[in-house]
Structure 1
């Protein structure tokens, strides 16, 4: 399934039905009085969050979402039927923005929540409401109200407890495959992962959390390089971060400069992200040249009060220790 995390739609709520002008026409009742009913209310456009959805793909081609109009009122005191609400299912974690002003209108981060994004117009009153002692045969009724109309931009931010960050080809996808049932594509070339992947990790009884594999970042990601802004926004909802660094002479990967570069990109995108609780691990420690670099790198990070952990997703070495460290951070951050 194609992953779509941003789209634009127009929502149009239903118009209210018009009130009716009518009078009773019955035998032996020459002055029966008004009998025009009210128009029905227009349908609302309602967004409902669905845990079974993980993409906005269904909405990318739906340029206009319109609810039904209310029916007009009729004679004999008959009220018009209200228009059907238009129910639109969206993934949990969808944010709704006004396309024109850029204002965030709704944050749909709760499963099975219902949010009215466009209200239907009210139904007009029939002439039965306008009878007075002075005017017992009113010939006026109200028209139905217009439904709300909005141009919206939808942004999906995945919901995860921990975000997995690192430069391309440091082993993020291999790590998430080793610790969960998520199956992102794994290859020996950069930018294998082009969309976020979620995996549920278990480190013991009743000790589970969700980790998100964020596509690889490059310098300048906070300014949009390599689609970095699209990727970094998925980190905003996480409680903790796992930085994966490694050594790759062919790619010029240096663990210390890579970590500093990652922090810089996070700080440029959102300063709060750079201060979020973090676990730092050096991947691919089963390789000889990475083993040689691990000792000096650990000393450097220790001087910065950071405990660098070794991990090899290929052999399983250090995976559980990294997950336990992550779970401790997430547990401390979880709201009561």
Structure 2
């Protein structure tokens, strides 16, 4: 029996993923699933470039606005939610079209995750409080003491992955490395063969401008447009909540961290703008690095006018559409 179809549409930030997804949804029997670790949060609209209410009404996206910014959302949470959404879409005779730039989520969905403990809010809150007091460098050192392999893989400025790795150990007494070794038969490498087959026939697409300078310019233009649209007011409203602080994963999202620091008086408006643009470019670079190592990937040029027809041709080649 052939596996049901799915479409993965990936790419760096500001590459035009959403626009292409909407074009495809107009001509294919698709339903959209967001693959973005920031779009899951309610109230974070401008700084995440969330599709407008009008777009979401016409083209509903699953897994948008499903968490409050003070709530945790892990790759395991995403996998469970995405699998359920894909099954629902497939059962309706339609094609899941997953679109976004959180490459870790795509990878986890494809390759599966080790059977690790679920999130522990109390342990997580303790880690975040320690980070707020001592800094994320201290958290990285704590992780290195108990799980040096994970510490070597995780950058000291990656709070979400640091928190999760240390949370796993503090809640279970077993390191993330050990869990991975158990899953992969003694091999802790995250690229080791996964156990459960991904139950879909997927076409893997990536969109980006051919020239890096074009992407950089698009990022700068979009960040400045966000500021014009009220990004600072959005962060001000978030800061006014009693349950949010600067060290939460949601508030450390690209752009939000820089605006938060500006509102703290740590930077000028011009410095905040420049830092926000630079941080977004660095995010795009990391996303492109993920994609360069992706197998069976079809690249599309953001500026090309024939992307929809190219995708349709690829889909026919693998019998996803007739």
What's the TM-score once normalised by structure 2's chain length?
0.30
Structure with the larger RCO, 1 or 2 (CA within 8 Å, 6+ apart): 2
More helix by share: 2
What's the TM-score once normalised by structure 1's chain length?
0.29
